A and B are shown apart, each in its own frame.
Chain A
Amino acid sequence: MSPDLVRFAYLVAASLFVFGLKGLSHPRTAVRGNRLSALGMFIAIVVTLIDQQIVRFEFIVAGIVLGGAIGAIWALKVPMTAMPQFVGLCNGFGGGASVLVAGAAYVEAVLRSADTISMQFGIATVASGLIGGVTFWGSLIAFGKLQGIVSEKAVRFTGDHVLKGLFLLAALAAGVLVILQPENTLYFWIMVAIASVLGILLVVPIGGADMPVVIALLNSYSGMAAAATGFVLSNNVLIISGSLVGASGFILTSIMCKAMNRSLANVMFAGVGGDSGGDDAGPADDLYEGKVKSTTAEEVAMVLDSARRVVFVPGYGMAVAQAQHAVRDLANQLEADGIEVEFAIHPVAGRMPGHMNVLLAEADVPYDRLKEMDEANTGFEQTDVTIVIGANDVVNPLARDAADTPLTGMPILNVDKSRTVVVIKRSLSPGFAGIPNPLFAADNCLMLFADGKDAVQELTAAVNEI
Chain B
Amino acid sequence: MGETIAILTIFVLAVFVGFEVITKVPPILHTPLMSGSNAISGITIIGAILSAGTQYSTLTTVLGTAAVVFATINVVGGYLVTNRMLDMFKRKE
Contacts and interface: CB of A to CB of B under 8 A. Distances in A.
Interface of A: 10, 13-14, 17-18, 20-22, 24-28, 30-31, 33-35, 37-38, 41, 44-45, 48-49, 51, 53-57, 59-60, 62-64, 66-68, 70-72, 74-76, 78, 80, 83, 86-87, 90-91, 93-94, 96-98, 100-101, 103-105, 107-108, 111, 118-120, 215-216, 219, 222-223, 226-227, 229-249, 251-252, 255, 345, 347, 352-355, 357-358, 361-362, 364-367, 370, 372
Interface residues of B, number: 81
B73 to A, nearest CB: 4
A367 B37 contact: no
B76 A67 contact: yes
A228 B29 CA distance: 27
Contacts, number: 369
B17 A251 contact: no
A37 B31 contact: no
A239 B54 contact: no
A131 B35 CA distance: 19
Interface of A is mostly: helix
29 contacts: A25-B26, A28-B93, A30-B89, A30-B90, A38-B39, A41-B39, A63-B48, A63-B67, A70-B73, A75-B80, A83-B31, A83-B85, A94-B74, A101-B63, A104-B48, A104-B51, A104-B64, A111-B56, A215-B34, A231-B11, A237-B46, A245-B37, A255-B27, A255-B30, A354-B29, A354-B32, A357-B30, A357-B31, A370-B28
A105 B57 CA distance: 11
Given A18-B17, A239-B11, 15 more contacts: A24-B25, A24-B29, A33-B36, A34-B79, A41-B75, A48-B46, A51-B50, A60-B68, A80-B85, A223-B41, A230-B7, A231-B7, A240-B11, A248-B33, A249-B34
Contact of B24 (A22, A38, A227, A239): A22
Nearest to B82: A34
Contacts of A366: 92-93
Contacts of B76: 67-68, 71-72, 75
B25 to A, nearest CB: 5
Interface centre among B39, B73, B79 (most CB of A within 10 A): B73
A367 B18 contact: no
A118 B5 CA distance: 13
B70 A55 contact: no
Interface string B1-45: 001100100110011011101111111111111111111111111
A285 B75 CA distance: 52
Contacts of A219: 34, 37-38
Which A-B residue pairs are the 5 nearest by beta carbons? A67-B72, A247-B18, A63-B68, A354-B30, A71-B77
B63 A103 contact: yes
Given A18-B17, A24-B25, A352-B31, A101 B41 contact: no
B73 A93 contact: yes
Contacts of B49: 45, 48-49, 51, 54, 60
A361 B28 CA distance: 9
Contacts of B14: 14, 239-240, 243-244
Contacts of B60: 104, 107-108, 111
Given A246-B15, A345-B27, A357-B30, A105 B51 contact: yes
B21 A243 contact: no
Contact of B41 (A28, A63, A72, A222): A222
Contacts of A235: 46-47
Contacts of B78: 71, 75, 90
A97 B21 contact: no
A17 B22 CA distance: 12
A97 B74 contact: yes
A247 B80 contact: no
A108 B38 contact: no
Contact of A248 (B22, B64, B72): B22
